[in-house]
Amino acid sequence: MGDSKSDGGSPIHRDLPVAIHSQISDGFRARIASGEWPAHYRLKSEPDLAAELGVSRGTLRRALTTLIDEGLLRQVRGRGTFVTSTMIEPAIAQKLSTLSEDFSSQGIETTTRVISCELIDPPRPVAALLEVPAGGSVMKLVRLRSTEQGPVAFLFNYVRTDFAPGIEDVDFASTSLFGTLEGRYGLRISSARRTFSAQAAEGEVAAQLDIPEGAPVQYLEQVTYLANGRPIEYSDVWIHSGRLRVTSMLSRR
């Protein structure tokens, strides 16, 4: 009997004495371990995956259950199956706002310098998180945000251009990214997943934030979703810990 190609790129060998569901979970586990499916990556729907693999949904569910039990996947009702993060992520209750919106609401004057804005083929992890179609491009926007004290945040944003054609022509030195997506393109931004961690500043991050190599910075990774659940933007943000403190309001219930 012939082999069928799995979504993980590895063939399913139906003539081997290894259960099909085990072969599927092994293939998915390999994609997670390699980083091809990064943290927060959303798998295709169960019917689509089962069809691509040429197996029943029951067999697929058994493979997914194995990885869920191992802590590699998690299922969110109404949204799908996601790769879990290897980092501890507390549930922070906070409003989905941008740094520029927060600064503005507090009356803090800031300047934004656009370092680069271009269309690129997305890096593999970014393409996976944004679910960019094959051959699709994204806008890569690199900015430095400063207050009168000096640089406070170094930002990389990647935006799907199939939802916002021509966005690379916008002047983001004076225009906000979310404001452009919502105002100019009529997109409804609904939610985001934010992950905070501590890093040591290196290379361009240290240079742009004007801090010594090895100095601590707060790193923020974000995937932003539209109201229909489709990802629209991915960002990497490095924050000058000595000039900007991130504070969250917590609710016990």
Q: Which of 62-66, 93-97, 121-125, 219-223 has the lowest mean pLDDT?
A: 93-97
Confidence label for 6 from pLDDT (cuts 50, 70 and 90)? very low
pLDDT of residue 132: 93
Task: Report whether pLDDT(248) > 70.
Answer: no
Q: Please enumerate in sequence order all residues whose Cβ is within 8 A of that of 67, keeping only pairs 6 or more positions apart, or say none.
A: 25, 28, 29, 32, 73
Q: Please check the confidence at residue 145 and state whether its pLDDT lies above 60.
A: yes
Angle (CA) 37-38-44 rounded to 5° is 45
The class that CATH gives domain 4-83 is mainly alpha
Where b means 16+ CB within 10 Å and e means fewer, 147-184 reads beeebbbbbbbbbbbebbeebbebebeeebbbebbeee
In this predicted structure, what is the pLDDT of residue 19? 85
pLDDT score recorded for residue 1: 38
- Which residue in the block uniquely carries the two structure tokens 């259960």? 19
Which of 23-37, 42-56, 158-172, 217-231 has the lowest average pLDDT?
A: 23-37
At residue 30, φ and ψ (nearest 5 deg) are -65, -40
What pLDDT does residue 32 have? 84
**CA 237 – CA 155 distance, rounded (Å):** 5
What's residue 244's pLDDT? 73
**222, 237 Cβ separation under 8 angstroms:** yes
Q: Which amino acid is at 105?
A: S
* Residue 8's pLDDT band (cuts 50, 70, 90): very low
pTM of the model: 0.69
Query: Which one is predicted more confidently, 35 or 179?
Result: 179
In the predicted model, what is the mean pLDDT of the chain? 84
Q: Give me the residue spans of the domains in the chain.
A: 4-83, 99-240
- Give one DSSP letter per residue of 102-128, joined into a string: HHHHTT---EEEEEEEEEEPPPHHHHH
Task: Choose the CATH number for 99-240 among 3.90.25.10, 3.30.950.10, 3.40.1410.10, 3.30.530.20.
Answer: 3.40.1410.10
